[in-house]
Amino acid sequence: MGEKDIRAGQTSYVIRGADLQGAGRADLLVRDGVIAETGTVKAPRGATEVDADGLIALPGLVDLHTHLREPGREDAETIETGSAAAAAGGFTAVLAMANTNPVTDTAEAAERVRDLGEKVGLVDVQPVGAVTKGLAGEELAELGLMARSRAAVRVFSDDGKCVHDARLMRRALEYVKAFGGVVSQHAQEPRLADGQACCHEGELSGRLGLPGWPGVAEEVVVARDVMLARHTGSRVHIAHVSTAGSVEVVRWAKSQDIAVTAEVTPHHLLLTTDLLSGYDPVFKVNPPLRLQEDVEALRAALADGTIDAVATDHAPHARHDKEHAFAEAAFGMLGLEQALSVVTTVMVEGGLMDWSAVAAAMSSRPAAIAGLREQGRPLAVGEPANLVLLDPAAEVTVDRERSQSLSRNNPWHGRALKGRVHSTFLRGRATYFDGEVTTR
């Protein structure tokens, strides 16, 4: 039986002997979309048995920062292929960034993204709304209409661009406060990161002859925005924190009870600017890969909770946008399929986090930040059966060709990482099982 049932949309499973977040082994009975029983479960008739011996069970992962590219760049990714990549990575929900074409800056656009995601049905696709119309940084978008729409938008971001006008940022924070929303800021002062800049400014960029921008271009905006959050009493979220200085500011802001949250990407937890010496555009990303001391500060901040969440910033790009001289190539790298393996390798194997901390950083906290009530829930009776099974001992050498994504800009290609996603369940339905995405 097994696999056939899974493809036929079987929704009753007994998951045998998984280690629940590292807290001990138990069976899980998944039925009618919820966790119906835990402990030692007697299989009901017709249930599919899943041997989870040696596997870790975590609540389904929630990505605060995904670029799905639809509408507008369906040659790089679609909601369907991006959802498949998410399911393969252990995610049950993704926040779809607004920098599509057209931009997600109206209620209708947000509803369209949400509905397309629902139709695909592999993960919950929750649209992020733009802060400003067309991401132009001039006029606020219809924040209230997006919030009140069927898409119930709560996270707003001009990601790809910084909301650099302090007055607009202030207004946006005031506005979203009314409905418990949050502004996710791509912190990058444009006057300190000019049009040509393509990497971290430092000793190496000088040697390579590549124009860069310094960490302070991020840090001044983080500092400004936590003060605006304090002034407005509203919530700000810092996207893809990349420097030790930003960590210091966020740590201070939290000590003052300012409502700031922050995310770090898998790539900023492991990769450094040294990789640029080969001029391979796969390592070109915004914010840029920084120094080892930044990487260490980011790891420590994630471990102690200063950084709340890991978010992928999955940024697929078509070959013809990426395969250029370094200075001309597009910014961004894939992230969904390897995120959990990178966190396993760096944070768990590195002794910095246990599995419950991973569940917090990749599921419950991002769900709370985004206001997703049905996601990020504990693995307990009565909860929606959103979960991922991970083989923590498996070592996988990443092959960019074995991907659900339409794009191939995978910075992990050829690397050995610890931890392989075995399966993902969305409301009790297997969306990914033993190497395959399961279609309805």
Ligand X SMILES: NC(=O)N[C@@H](CC(=O)O)C(=O)O
Q: Please state the residue numbers annotated as binding site for Zn(2+).
A: 65, 67, 159, 186, 240, 313
Nearer to ligand X, 184 or 386 (CB): 184
Q: Tell me how far, at minimum, the Cβ of 97 lies from Zn ion, in Å.
A: 5
Residue 332 interacts with which of Zn ion, ligand X, none, CB < 5 to 8 Å by class: ligand X
Question: Would you count residue 308 as binding Zn ion (CB under 5 A)?
Answer: no
Helical residues (DSSP H) of 121-215, grouped into ranges = 143-148, 166-177, 203-208
**Out of 315, 339, 359, 390, the residue judged to bind ligand X by CB under 6 A:** 315
Q: Is 111 in the site for ligand X (CB under 6 A)?
A: no
Interatomic CA distance for residues 105 and 153, integer angstroms: 11
- Identify which of 255, 218, 248, 222 has the alpha carbon closest to the alpha carbon of residue 236: 222
Helix (H) or strand (E) holding 199, with range, is strand 199-200
Distance from C-alpha of 414 to C-alpha of 147, rounded to nearest angstrom: 42
Q: Which range binds Zn ion by CB under 5 A, 166-174, 180-188, 269-277, 377-385? A: 180-188
262: β partners: 238
**Cβ proximity of 116 and 126 under 8 Å:** no
Query: How many CB atoms are closer than 10 A to CB 370?
Result: 26
Burial of 399 (0-12, 13-18, 19+ CB in 10 A): exposed
Is the Cβ of residue 131 or residue 390 nearer to ligand X in the bound state?
131
Residues 153 and 110 sit within 8 Å (Cβ to Cβ): yes
Number of residues that bind ligand X (CB under 6 A): 11
332 binds ligand X (CB under 6 A): yes
The answer to whether 391 contacts Zn ion (rule: CB under 5 A) is: no
Note whether 331 binds ligand X by CB under 6 A.
yes
- State the DSSP code for 278: G
Q: Is 186 in the site for Zn ion (CB under 5 A)?
A: yes
Nearer to ligand X, 218 or 391 (CB): 218
Tell me if 393 sits within 8 A of 344, measured CB to CB. no
Please, which residue, 30 or 61, has the CB nearer to Zn ion? 61
The single residue among 114, 186, 268, 422 that binds ligand X, judged by CB under 6 A, is: 186
Of the pair 112, 186, the CB lying nearest Zn ion is at 186
The verdict on 201 binding ligand X (CB under 6 A) reads no
Query: Is there binding between residue 313 and Zn ion (CB under 5 A)?
Result: yes
Considering the complex, state which of residue 11 and residue 286 has its C-beta at the smaller distance from ligand X. 286
- 159 interacts with ligand X by CB under 6 A: yes
**DSSP-derived secondary structure letter, 328:** T
421, β-bridge pairs = 390
Catalytic residue among 27, 63, 124, 313: 313
Cα 45 to Cα 12, 36, 336: the distances in Å are 9, 14, 35
Query: Under rule CB under 5 A, which residues in 145-174 are in contact with Zn ion?
Result: 159
Q: Is 105 in the active site?
A: no
Please report, as residue ranges, which positions from 272 to 311 form the binding site for ligand X (by CB under 6 A): 285-286
Phi and psi for 236 in degrees, rounded to 5?
A: -120, 145
Determine the residue type at 188: Q
Task: Tell me the three state secondary structure of residue 167.
Answer: helix
Q: Which does 185 bind (CB under 5 to 8 A by kind): Zn ion, ligand X, none?
A: none
Strands 236-238 and 182-185: parallel
Q: Does 187 bind ligand X (CB under 6 A)?
A: no
Report the interface residues with ligand X, using CB under 6 A.
Answer: 67, 99, 159-160, 186, 285-286, 313, 315, 331-332
Report the interface residues with Zn ion, using CB under 5 A.
Answer: 159, 186, 313
Catalytic residue set:
313
